[in-house]
Amino acid sequence: MPDIAYINGEFVPLQEACVSLNDRAYYFADAVYEVCTTFGGRLFIFDSHMDRLENSLRGVKIEYRVDRPYLAGLMEEGMRRAGYAESLVYLQISRGSGLRDKRFPAGPERNLVLTVREKRPIPPERFRQGIRLILVPDERWAHCNYKTVMLLPNVLAHQAALDEGKDDALFFHPEGGMIYEATSANIFLVHGGRLATPPEGPKILSGTVRKYLIDLARRNGLEVDEHPINRTDLGNADEAFLTGTTTEVLGIVEADGAQLGDGHPGPITRRLHGIFRESVGTAPVEYGE
């Protein structure tokens, strides 16, 4: 089977999958989600995603008991049916279905939807070249630490970057100049050999790979500060990179209209990406050092 969806208790081809028009995700953005990836065909840091899923559910008051063995089994069954070497597994839980009414639905029924698509890794050239980012004022809602489908501002910011011939956008606070994150990835700066990334807070989705990488960097002798960063810090950085489930460790070579470093992914970025690849058991990108 090609791309696949699990919905209403059965697996169907993704292109044919349909959800009720009465699903609150559809008209109220009343849902949370996770995107898991595989390395070597196995789900990567599954528990980290489930921790965050529980946090998101709690944050927006959707009562749903996360049964990890059940969900892992469902994902693996979907992956088996789809048959890809590497998969991207999307899981969404909405507050339920019902005629459009803001009050929480009375029943305990939540809508669980799962999709399995083929993972298309970022091409090595893109890792080697690095990416260019614009800055956009953060116009999102107040609880971006919960992974909800309230993503229209992310869509608009990402498209604005593409329209300017860049790759993605960074959200910043128009008054304080604080930089939060990209439209689906966290940011790290490198300055004087130390890493810095914005601390957890309502404007940062605490990335599973962000945590994973902080830990990996520290175990490899790098110091990582979690503190607020602003536009000036970004401009003064020796290097910068994004982290994310599909992003891995991706160098930033231009941001806010200015070149970063020498215009290529920096040595610490490349080194960390190598360490990351090694730790997940996949072949490193040849950066041609």
Q: Which residues bind its own copies (CB under 8 A)?
A: 3, 5, 7, 14-15, 17-30, 33, 60-61, 90, 92, 95, 99-100, 102-104, 113, 115, 117, 137, 139-143, 148-156, 158-159, 162, 183-184
The residue among 33, 179, 50 whose CA lies nearest residue 114 is 33
Residue with smaller CB distance to its own copies, 99 or 283: 99
CB 46 within 8 A of CB 34: no
**CA gap 247, 190 in Å, rounded:** 18
Which amino acid makes up residue 59?
G
Residue with smaller CB distance to its own copies, 23 or 181: 23
Residue with smaller CB distance to its own copies, 230 or 246: 246
Q: How far is the CB of 106 from its own copies (least distance, A)?
A: 12
Count of C-beta atoms within a 10 Å radius of residue 203: 20
SS3 of 171, please?
Answer: strand
Residue with smaller CB distance to its own copies, 28 or 39: 28
Q: How far is the CB of 5 from its own copies (least distance, A)?
A: 6
Residue with smaller CB distance to its own copies, 153 or 266: 153
Q: How far is the CB of 117 from its own copies (least distance, A)?
A: 7
**CA gap 47, 7 in Å, rounded:** 22
The residue among 181, 213, 124 whose CA lies nearest residue 169 is 181
For 262, phi then psi, to 5°, come to -95, 15
Taking the CA atoms of the chain, what radius of gyration do you get in angstroms? 19
CB 60 within 8 A of CB 52: no
Residue with smaller CB distance to its own copies, 163 or 286: 163
SS3 of 113, please?
Answer: strand
Q: How far is the CB of 186 from its own copies (least distance, A)?
A: 16
Q: How far is the CB of 34 from its own copies (least distance, A)?
A: 12
**CA gap 180, 170 in Å, rounded:** 7
Q: How far is the CB of 169 from its own copies (least distance, A)?
A: 10
